Chain A
């Protein structure tokens, strides 16, 4: 499988990374080089093989459904580029 220029732009939009027109060709050839490299996986028969979900044989731990942390909104927003009254500020989303 290989990607064309339109696909590169579509992936950029999905990934929320602006790809400028002059960058498309570069990304296209790099992505195709990597996809070409991973193509060798098609040689392997994986019928009946379980996909790995956990590398260590363990059940994911669950914790009690209780509030165990929090109460410091000021710290949560301390590193944000723009805040007001402990809210993250973003450009208007809904008209």
Chain B
């Protein structure tokens, strides 16, 4: 029998419906792969084999009768940020030690409703704060990719590093992830996988541990564009429990995948041509435009003048919202408690011990920019800049642009424990320079593998779309996926 874990999600779904194999067999194959790989990759922080096999058995009972949802029997990994009832949910933080929610997040509930099977919880940067998955309390995730001729461990990107590594290394058929400044798209680009952050409001945030509420969105990471489309269709939808979720019908995204780009106008923002950008990224970008043109799209130069201000504005807005959201971790309601001489002492000691350095740094920045006397100069100013960033995109779309093509990241994956990045917090933040604008404007963005660098490491392109027009992104990403025609699978060393 072929290795079932190597099937795409859509092929696995077809195989299950055709009864070529059972959900139990498929789930068993993934559990075996996790057992073998996880000691090397550290992608999962909790594996739930009993629950997985139980869910698979229930799926098999439906499948045998020709019933079941669109994801019936498909084994998925879940980022540790999503509340899963009775199962490890700690945002990869020490401060949530032992937390097992009494409830299920809306996004995961939607996936289980459609028949998916949960394999376990995936590693991530602590509270989704990071671009390398090195801030996790559970240690870094190791990328399944290595540079040619090198044994050095690379990062899978972050914050959804566990999701990206697990999908890429065949440790799940697809995974949930979240994106606040690039946390789906950057790890997808680093691991040769497809990741989409939908429009803000498309997926419910209910039951997802909050980082920056006005920026956070859930989305999938998958091995193909079609797989990502299938997952996003299930994950999305109106939810009364999230007041910012949008009451809009969810299209069948998979139906849009083969729509093509004929007649579409693709914008090329000149501000994304950064100084010092590696030539291979520049080349990849031009190649992507040629592929879209060859399939009938028109390319148009555009300007998004406030691009360079998106990242600095983000590092005011996101920490401000985080400092407020993370106030709830106080040693009283859940997780870790460190005793002190009085209640304030207990709060301070618990939070000092429970949060990692990057999280504390961001809470401190957020507290500072929201404090009396600084609120207008920092927070209000940043929110005004955000209005300008959004207007840049609106102007481009009004001028007839259907989608915008950019590089996904300024480089390929870097090494674990990179000293230059560790010494300068801002250098790490620059990883999100191409992705963060999209969160600031609430737009959908997809990262799709498009090429490799000289060392054989995957590089991704990003497509940015109009609000709630994820369908165009799937169609255009599929053209790039087909044209690249590359093999973006890692060579197993683990």
Contact = CB atoms under 8 A, between A and B. Distances in A.
B365 A88 contact: no
B330 A16 contact: yes
Given A34-B315, A41-B309, A81 B381 contact: no
Contacts of B336: 81
A79 B119 CA distance: 23
B36 interface: no
A74 to B, nearest CB: 9
Interface residues of B, number: 73
A17 B364 contact: yes
Interface string A36-52: 01111101101001111
Interface string B292-336: 000000000000001011011101100000010001001111111
Given A44-B309, A52-B386, 15 more contacts: A12-B348, A15-B363, A17-B360, A31-B368, A35-B368, A37-B311, A39-B312, A46-B384, A55-B440, A56-B201, A60-B244, A75-B102, A79-B334, A80-B334, A91-B346
Nearest to B382: A41
Contacts of A78: 102
A20 B348 CA distance: 11
Nearest to B380: A51
Given A56-B244, A81-B335, A44 B385 contact: yes
Contacts of A72: 102
Contacts of B347: 16
A82 B26 CA distance: 42
Interface of A: 1, 3, 7-8, 11-20, 27, 30-31, 33-35, 37-41, 43-44, 46, 49-56, 58, 60-61, 63, 72, 75-76, 78-82, 88, 90-93
Contacts of B382: 38, 41
B367 interface: yes
A46 to B, nearest CB: 4
B485 interface: no
B340 interface: yes
19 contacts: A3-B368, A11-B364, A11-B371, A16-B330, A18-B352, A27-B361, A31-B364, A34-B365, A37-B311, A37-B429, A51-B384, A54-B244, A56-B246, A60-B243, A79-B100, A81-B337, A91-B343, A91-B346, A92-B343
B312 A61 contact: no
Give the top 9 A-B pairs by smallest Cβ distance, nearest first. A55-B442, A51-B383, A79-B334, A81-B337, A18-B352, A18-B348, A46-B384, A38-B312, A75-B102
Nearest to B316: A38
Given A34-B426, A46-B388, A49-B384, A15 B351 contact: yes
At the interface, is chain A mostly helix, strand, loop or mixed? Answer: loop
A41 B368 contact: no
Contacts of B99: 79
Given A46-B381, A61-B243, A78-B102, A17 B352 contact: yes
Interface string B255-299: 000000000000000000000000000000000000000000000
Contacts of B363: 15, 17
A55 B214 contact: yes
Contacts of A56: 199-201, 244, 246, 442, 467
Contacts of A58: 201, 244, 246
A18 B334 contact: no
B441 interface: yes
A93 to B, nearest CB: 5
A7 B369 CA distance: 12
